[in-house]
Structures are given as structure tokens and as C-alpha cells.
A and B are shown apart, each in its own frame.
Chain A
Amino acid sequence: MYISAILSIEMALNLATIRRQFPILEEKVGNRPLIYLDNAATAQKPLAVLDAMRHFYLHDNANPHRGMHILAERATAALEDARASVTSFLHARHPREIVFTKNATEGINIVANGLGKKWTKGDAVVVSVLEHHSNVVPWLQLKEARGIDVEWIDVDEEGKLDLSSLDRLLKKGNVRLVSVTALSNVFGIRPPLEEIIRRAHAAGALVLVDAAQSVAHGPTDVAALNCDFLVFSGHKLYGPTGIGVLYGKESLLATLPPLLGGGMMIQQVTEQSFVPADVPARFEGGTPPVAEAVGLHAAIDWLLQFDWKDIADHERALLGLAQEELTAVPGLTILGPKDVAHRAGTICFTVDGIHPHDLTHLLGERGICLRAGHHCAQPLHARFSLPATTRLSVALYNTPDEIRSVAPAIRDVLQLLKAEN
């Protein structure tokens, strides 16, 4: 690709060049620039992704794996090229280990549905207090349907996992799966995955990694991790919505029944029975999101033109700056790790006496897009008695000037909302 050739001879992360790939960042709110710092919810999409999807619809669109004509062939190739790209992106062994889903949530549901069919009362799943609802509710559904136990690894004030509580749970001998995030969407902390996976495997438990938040901020290596399953969503990786990935070790995926029944996921159907297809097709019932797979492929290519270290250095510098500036705002408390070296992606905070919805609404009127609420992590908020928090989350296109605009705007809003005695 000529774009990557041009970029590679420039500085590590030329922000002006990068930002030109994101026309949405030129939007204005009134006469103020739009400042997008809600990247943990979804990342913006570079032109490379939009162009690839448009090219697919203009030239290659057909239903893959279902026709012998030229377009069906191109669409099939586009889908399988995307699978190959994800395979190498995750350092998986084989494309058969890559299932295309709607998003990370569907990936977790496929695993929960599949493994859960074999579990009974007394079996347990362990999750951490950091988890997003997508990695909580599917297990609670199994608790309802199968009577399994859902057990919790606690965290300290900085979000660090209490591994002794994991050991205690594993010692009981009934843990079938440990399902844990690679990066908290609230505390911005990374649990020690290698250690968790080692201990879980030693106790005979499988491990699922929720990489939804981590995938855009650093390399993901399923071979090195030796996790059994891993999920992510394309839209947090600068790709389109509507596509996600479930990685699973082939031998394990092969034992799971499908979640969705329909076309594409079968070998044979009679009036009274069906034989599911092999992996990964058995988990891909219905016409797959081909254009979205093409978009995800383009997003991966686009992202991999940069060095992960450059991305991490840049984003850590942004978070360090944010942490410094926000700490100086009166009444503002930052959650999660104090040392920015232990942080990625996200800073969540509270401000005394101000509801996060008021704060983010008024910041939004000033062009600054942050997120307020429980961030789909109610157990974590309950654990620390937080009603709702405000989140700032960065991407590689954000600039130090954008970060510098936040704290003054918060002071401005505080001034507006505070009662004059």
C-alpha cells in the first residue's frame, strides 16, 4: 500500500498525517472544534476503512460461499482474506481458529452457550470485578439456566486484581472457566493475563480473554498468552461496527455446539435433523458481514503500518498529561492506577457535587466528547460505591492540545453549575 510507504518514511506517528485520515475529526460544534475522547466506546474510522468497504460494494459484492459466479468468488476471497489477516494479527495458528461474530459480546455468548451446555450445578465460572457487562451477563444467564456458580476476583482501589482470591477459588476444584478482561474500560488497568492463565490452567480451568478494550492499544498474541478463547469488536479497532472476532483453540471450538442455527453453519439438513458445519463456519449462521470483514481487514492493515511502541508511547503521554491536568481540578478524583505506566486507553474520574451527566452534557455543548455513566460495569461501580463516573479515553489520533482543552472546560462547567453561596 502506498499510504504505508509514505508514512513509514515520516516521523513515528505524524499526527497531522494521521488526522487527515479521519475527516470526522474536522467536525465543529458551533464554532468550536470537535474533540473526540470517547474512544473506549468506539473509535473513529480512517478513510482507508471507508474506502475499502466502498470498494467492496462497488466492485465485489455478493453472498460469499454461495455461488459459483465471479462476484461470489470475490466476496468469498474478501471474507477469507479478512480471516487470514485477523489470524496473523492475533498470532493464531490457523484461520479455522477465527470466528467472525457481530461483536465481542456475541463471541462471549458463543462460548457461554457452548461450554454451558456441558456444565451443571456445582460448576463455576470466575470473573473479575473489572468486567464489562458483556463478560458478566452471559455467565449469569448460565447461572439461571444451569445453576452454575459465578465467582468474583476482587480488585484493590487501583484496580489491581487480588490473585490470592483467584487461588482460593481455583483450589475448590470446580472452576471450569476464568473469564477476564485484558484492559479495564473504567480503571484503564491491565490484569496480569499470563499469570492468571498459568494458574487457571494448572487448576484445570479454561481461560477466556475479553480483549475489546486492549486490542487497539497494544499487540495481542494468543499463542504467547496461551489463552483458550479471546474476543474483540472491530469498531474499537478503527474498524466498522457489526463485526467482531472470537478466537478459540481449534480443538476447543470443535467441541462447542453452534449458538445460531441457519444457513452457512450446516453440513447437512434433513426434515428432522441437521449436522453442523466444521469450525469456524458452524458459528457463522446466516449471511456474514462481508463488507464489515473487509473494513476490519483494512483497519488492521492501517493500524499495523505503525509501530505498537510508538502508539503506546503517544497514548501514554496523552494519559499522563490528562492525569496531571485533571488532578489539579478541585474536587476531581481519578480512579484506577496512580502511575500512568500501569494505565492504557482510559481515565475515569468523579467530580464532587456534579452529576456526570451534567458534566458531559455541558462539555459536549463545548465540543468535548466524553462518556458518563456506569460504562456497562455496574458491579465495579457498586464495589466502590460510585453512582456514575466520567470517562476520557484516547486514540492514536488525539493530540496534546485536545487533552489540554479538557481541564479548563471542566472548570468552566463547575463554575456554571456551582451555587454561589
Chain B
Amino acid sequence: MSDTLYAENILEHYRHPQHKHTLTDATVTHEEINASCGDKITLQLIIEEGKVADVGWEGTGCAISQASMSLLSDELMGKTEGELEQMRPSAIHDLLGIDVGLQRIKCALLSLHALKNALRTRHGKEPQTWKETLEA
């Protein structure tokens, strides 16, 4: 466990975010914000035959929220919707490789929150609350 929140892999993804671009033919586009910080992420997915064929996102905010989205976007490629629905906060913690602590947990999980609600939006369901994302 690193003694800094800003471990090299996180800084690397913050400086060079993966999949950070706009898709023109997205299956679903969904925006989420972390109101307490002003972090914002718009996630786009192209889903073909039940699998993620491409990912794109745009966002602004702190290094933790942006690096988390970058790391997650790599992970999403090729996954089935069923697999994504199973994804829990622990998956994000594993990707980040650090203990983000209570104060920054919503920064870290904004990416997952955007993913969950992108999938729900696609299926015409009500978005889930932050409580549901955090406690899953």
C-alpha cells in the first residue's frame, strides 16, 4: 500500500488519460457529477452483441476522479454487460491500488457511478443513488 494517494500509476493516468475522447456513434452517453468537489464525467459506451466494443469519456476534476475513469475505461473493453453489472467498488480500489480514505471515496467511485448509471440509462431504468454505488 502506497503512503501517498498520488501513486505513480494514478499520476500516469491523470497525465495521460486513456480513452478520453468523444465517440460519435455511442450506444449510450451518460453524465455524472460529484457535487461536493465539482468533478464531472461524461461516459460513452458502444455496446455490440452485449459486449463493450468501445469506450470514450470526457471529464474535469481532481486527479483521483480522472485517473479512476482512465483506469476503468481500459478495464471495460470487451466486458459483457452482465460482467459490468457485477462490478463493485472493490474493483476500483484494486485498479487504483491505494486506500483512498473517506474524504476522497466519491472522487474514486465517480467512474463506477457513471458506468452503473450509463447501463441503467441504456435499459430505461432510473439511475441508482450514490448510496447504492458506495454500498454495493
Contact = CB atoms under 8 A, between A and B. Distances in A.
Interface in B2-46: 4-6, 11, 14-16, 37-39
B4 A365 contact: yes
Interface in B35-74: 37-39, 61-64
Given A358-B63, A361-B6, A361-B104, A417 B14 contact: yes
B107 interface: yes
A417 B62 CA distance: 10
Most-contacted residue by chain B among A357, A373, A417 (CB, 10 A): A357
Contact of B62 (A357, A365, A418, A420): A357
B38 A388 contact: yes
Nearest to A362: B6
Contacts of B14: 417, 419
A177 B69 CA distance: 48
A6 interface: no
Nearest to B65: A355
A384 to B, nearest CB: 14
Given A355-B61, A357-B37, A420 B5 contact: no
B73 to A, nearest CB: 17
A358 B107 CA distance: 11
Contacts of A358: 6, 62-64
A341 B7 CA distance: 41
Interface in A325-383: 355, 357-358, 361-362, 365, 373
Nearest to A421: B15
Contacts of B37: 355, 357, 373, 388
A408 interface: no
B15 A357 contact: no
A387 interface: yes
Contacts of B64: 357-358
Contacts of A416: 6, 11
B3 to A, nearest CB: 8
Interface string A382-421: 0000011000000000000000000000000000111110
Nearest to A365: B4
A365 B11 CA distance: 15
Contacts of A387: 38
Contacts of A365: 4-6
Contacts of B6: 358, 361-362, 365, 416-417
Contacts of A362: 4, 6
Contacts of B16: 419
Nearest to A359: B62
Interface string B65-106: 000000000000000000000000000000000000000100
A266 B39 CA distance: 49
Nearest to B37: A357
A417 B11 contact: yes
A419 B15 CA distance: 4
A418 B4 contact: no
A313 B104 CA distance: 38
Contacts of A420: 15
A98 B16 CA distance: 58
Nearest to B5: A361
Nearest to B66: A355
A417 B61 CA distance: 13
B68 to A, nearest CB: 13
A146 to B, nearest CB: 28
A421 to B, nearest CB: 10
A47 B77 CA distance: 59
Nearest to B61: A355
Nearest to B36: A373
Interface of A: 355, 357-358, 361-362, 365, 373, 387-388, 416-420
Given A355-B37, A355-B62, A365-B6, 9 more contacts: A355-B38, A361-B6, A365-B4, A373-B37, A387-B38, A416-B6, A417-B11, A417-B14, A419-B16
24 contacts: A355-B37, A355-B38, A355-B62, A355-B63, A357-B37, A357-B62, A357-B64, A357-B104, A358-B6, A358-B62, A362-B4, A365-B5, A373-B37, A387-B38, A388-B37, A388-B38, A416-B6, A416-B11, A417-B14, A417-B63, A418-B15, A419-B15, A419-B16, A420-B15
Task: Give 4 nearest A-B pairs by CB, closest first.
Answer: A419-B15, A355-B62, A387-B38, A357-B62
